Amino acid sequence: MSDALLVELLTEELPPKSLATLGYAFADALVTDLRERGFAAPDCGFDVFATPRRLGVLVRAVAARAPDREVVTRGPSLKAGLDAEGRPTAALTGFARKVGAEVGSLAREHDGKQEVFVHRSVAKGAALAAALAPMVEAALARLPVPKMMRWGDSDAEFVRPVRGLVMLHGANVVEGTVLGAASGRTTRGHRFMGSGAVTIPRAEDYEHLIEREGKVIANFERRERLVREGLASAAGAASVAADDALVAEVTALVEHPSVYEGHFEKHFLEVPQECLMLTMRQNQKYFPLVDGSGRLLNRFLVVSNIATPHPARIVHGNERVLRARLADARFFYDQDRRRPLASLVERLGAVVYHNRLGTQLERVARLEALAGAIARELGADEALARRAARLAKADLVTGMVGEFPELQGIMGMHYARHDGEPEAVAAAIEAHYRPRFAGDALPESPIGAAVALADKLDTLVGIWGIGLAPTGDKDPFALRRAALGVVRILAELELPLDLVALLAAARAGFGATPLEPDTVPAVHQFALERLRGVLRERGYAPDEIDAVLAQNPTRIDLVPKRLAAVAEFRRLPEAASLAAANKLIRNILRKAALPPGREPQAALAREPAEKALLESLAHLAPDTHDLVERGEYTRALVALARAREPVDRFFDEVLVMAEDEAVRANRLALLARLDGLMNAVADISKLAA
């Protein structure tokens, strides 16, 4: 007989940022166990419950007893179990005694290698009443909880103290103890609006009873949907400035969400809106409102855990708390503006960047030189780039950034504007941190791009150079993000810069500081791997990406053009044959170890097919190299298609590894020249099936 199964663990307030993860992980672990042990069907439906004070799951069809199952125990082989006269050996009699059977009742089966003795028995299905509590304990033990706590005089450990346990199978309580709490059918409702204890008659009654009597919306997704709907309704014509993470966190803080609107004095809007919005969202979990142009309004929304027709006291209390927070932000802003941003740069000498790489002031000197050199390469104003790099880190020692580190760069931009710095300098200070995350906007000006590249290149070369390259999922210095930023800036802004030259310039900036000798090539390869991921996300074929990146390109801005050319080339009827031939050539040259720089000689060409290929290359090579130099990669690869016939004929009619050493070396040199021509744009051997 099957029925709905409810398990609910009542706790003290759970960590809001991980509540949803804990709820779904608990449900998945328990349901997986029920399915594997035969209590529930593989496709059984279930509902997940997660509120600040409870984790729960309702599985719709669970059997009171798991089905019986056959147990097959394999014993010794026939060779080991019977002696020469066919009598049971000690190994066989011992096996029979172990499984509680007579030797004569044992079956014989082939296990794929040999015939063995087998004992078959039927194991009685486990009862849910005996198995559930251990399964719940096991599911809780597998939750992704970084730090456990104990409470009272119990040895039980969980992320928060446990205050109750409900385990119902249909209308019946499943007896058991989990983390020191004995099971029952009574749960607790909302701390303030509920009716206290809520008795659950049947498992399937749980969700509507806990909402009706306990004023708790137990389903996390439904509660989140109500939060979003409440925010949209209260915002009216304005827009809510919030992200999914804040909505999820607020959902995890309330059991019955109600949205109310508050206001603050307009004079606070004189402070940069990024500061105000950050303090509202980060410190108070409020939702700022903006107008159609994205300008902050002096209105905000708060999601309360109490529903009332008269919320004036709730609103007033939140306004009073926010007013104090905004006053702090205004104080920092006013204090910081008393000194020009440029006057703060020298204070960076007291801020250690890394104990092996010096101070932030020393880093600023490197950024100045590198950003200026990059701007010069781009034809941008070198003096402005150097000035922006000089001021880029100064806001790290301001009061506002000390309070809100997330505002670094943003506050530097505002303070630079206040000081009358050129707009290009102010904008570059903010832009040099971009892209801050996947999908973030890139710097919009060459000055901003120059400082952003300098910042990321200095980080990559310096941190990698002292042996702190990322390992596994550990990347404390965000080198993956820095490398991704570099390749995105170079590729998407189409900057005609050589990545290896940029890395070498960054390395030169460290002077005599000892760095790993292979830092530049290692970081170059690291950056290409990040580029590989970007290109895959954009839908390029993996083998086409391999074909281009196998050439270890240093001009990242040209990679998309090369990819487009490879995609066009592989659609040609000659492509498959040429790719296969190139793969064969690569294998031959790899084994032959031909000395570099050797050119094929016409006088040593013996076979007609050999002469035809040499003549074809003589006509094709200049045109192809000229097209590659001009960046016309598609035309270069299309021109290469003309080589298909002489290449096929060569491999059909010519023995490359001739007995005559001079002839053999000449043919290998011919293949080497052909290989260089074929791979002038990309390694087309990667396209071979």
- Please state, in angstroms and as integers, the Cα–Cα distance from residue 357 to each residue in 95, 110, 349, 364, 515, following that order: 68, 67, 12, 12, 10
CB-facing half-sphere around the CA of 470: CA atoms within 13 A: 19
Q: Are residues 276 and 179 both part of a single domain? A: no
Cβ neighbourhood burial of 468 (10 Å; 0-12, 13-18, 19+): middle
Residue positions counted in the chain:
689
Q: Are residues 529 and 445 both part of a single domain? A: yes
Specify if 40 maps to a domain.
Answer: yes
Cβ-contact 461, 519 below 8 angstroms: yes
3-state secondary structure of 9: strand
Specify if 471 maps to a domain.
Answer: yes
In the chain, the N- to C-terminal Cα span, in Å, equals: 56
Pair type for strands 287-290 and 352-354: unpaired
Task: Find residue 149's DSSP bridge partners.
Answer: 158
Q: Are residues 263 and 137 both part of a single domain? A: no
pTM: 0.79
Cβ-contact 50, 1 below 8 angstroms: no
Which of 548, 553, 550 minimizes the C-alpha distance to 564?
548
Specify if 345 maps to a domain.
Answer: yes
Specify if 554 maps to a domain.
Answer: no
Specify if 533 maps to a domain.
Answer: yes
Phi-psi region of 568 (alpha: psi -120 to 50; beta: other; left: phi over 0): alpha
pLDDT value at residue 658: 86
pLDDT value at residue 643: 85
Two tokens at 224? 């989140």
3-state secondary structure of 175: coil
Which of 680, 687, 678 minimizes the C-alpha distance to 551?
680
Question: DSSP assignment of 559-573, as one string?
Answer: HHHHHHHHHHHTTST
Helix axes 559-569, 519-537, angle to 10 degrees: 50
Q: Are residues 441 and 532 both part of a single domain? A: yes
Specify if 398 maps to a domain.
Answer: yes
User: What is the Cα–Cα distance from 363 to 138, expressed in whole angstroms?
Assistant: 51
Cβ-contact 18, 11 below 8 angstroms: no
Q: Are residues 258 and 291 both part of a single domain? A: yes
Pair type for strands 162-169 and 177-178: unpaired
Which of 620, 601, 621 minimizes the C-alpha distance to 667?
601
pLDDT value at residue 288: 97
Question: CA angle 656-661-664, nearest 5°?
Answer: 20
- Please state, in angstroms and as integers, the Cα–Cα distance from residue 294 to each residue in 240, 290, 302, 466, 624, following that order: 10, 5, 19, 43, 52
Instruction: Kindly report the CATH number assigned to the domain that includes residue 638.
Output: 1.10.730.10
Specify if 438 maps to a domain.
Answer: yes
Q: Are residues 384 and 351 both part of a single domain? A: yes
User: What is the Cα–Cα distance from 169 to 3, expressed in whole angstroms?
Assistant: 6
pLDDT value at residue 421: 97
Q: Where are the alpha helices (DSSP H) in 163-238?
A: 206-212, 220-235
pLDDT tens for each residue of 574-583: 888 888 888 8
Q: Are residues 345 and 482 both part of a single domain? A: yes
pLDDT value at residue 243: 85
User: What is the Cα–Cα distance from 556 to 193, expressed in whole angstroms?
Assistant: 61
pLDDT value at residue 407: 95
- Please state, in angstroms and as integers, the Cα–Cα distance from residue 227 to each residue in 230, 250, 254, following that order: 5, 8, 10
Residue ranges making up the domain that contains 415: 341-539
pLDDT tens for each residue of 118-158: 998 888 888 999 999 999 999 999 999 888 999 988 889 99
Q: Consecutive 10-residue runs of the chain (689 residues): their mean pLDDT?
A: 94 95 96 94 94 97 89 89 90 91 89 89 88 96 91 90 97 96 96 92 96 96 97 95 92 97 96 95 95 95 95 96 95 96 97 96 98 97 98 97 94 97 97 93 97 98 96 91 97 97 97 95 97 94 94 95 91 87 85 76 88 88 88 88 87 87 88 87 86
Pair type for strands 358-359 and 115-123: unpaired
User: To which residue do tokens 């009073």 refer?
Assistant: 320
Cβ-contact 392, 458 below 8 angstroms: no
pLDDT value at residue 576: 87
User: To which residue do tokens 């929304």 refer?
Assistant: 301
Task: Find residue 71's DSSP bridge partners.
Answer: 121
Task: Find residue 258's DSSP bridge partners.
Answer: 304
Q: Are residues 466 and 380 both part of a single domain? A: yes
Of 336, 361, 381, the domain-final residue: 336
CB atoms within 10 A of CB 113: 7
Question: CA angle 643-649-654, nearest 5°?
Answer: 120
Two tokens at 36? 């594997």
Q: Are residues 61 and 167 both part of a single domain? A: yes
Q: Which helix (H) or strand (E) holds 680?
A: none
Question: CA angle 487-491-496, nearest 5°?
Answer: 105
Which H, E and C letters describe 306-356, residue by residue? CCCCCCHHHHHHHHHHHHHHHHHHHHHHHHHCCCCHHHHHHHHHHCEEECC
Q: Are residues 376 and 420 both part of a single domain? A: yes
Of 336, 366, 395, the domain-final residue: 336
Q: Are residues 189 and 231 both part of a single domain? A: no
Which of 325, 351, 322, 345 minimizes the C-alpha distance to 415?
345
Q: Are residues 576 and 682 both part of a single domain? A: yes
- How many structural domains compose the chain? 5
Instruction: Kindly report the CATH number assigned to the domain that includes residue 358.
Output: 1.10.3210
Specify if 552 maps to a domain.
Answer: no
Of 145, 177, 212, the domain-final residue: 212
User: What is the Cα–Cα distance from 181 to 190, expressed in whole angstroms?
Assistant: 20
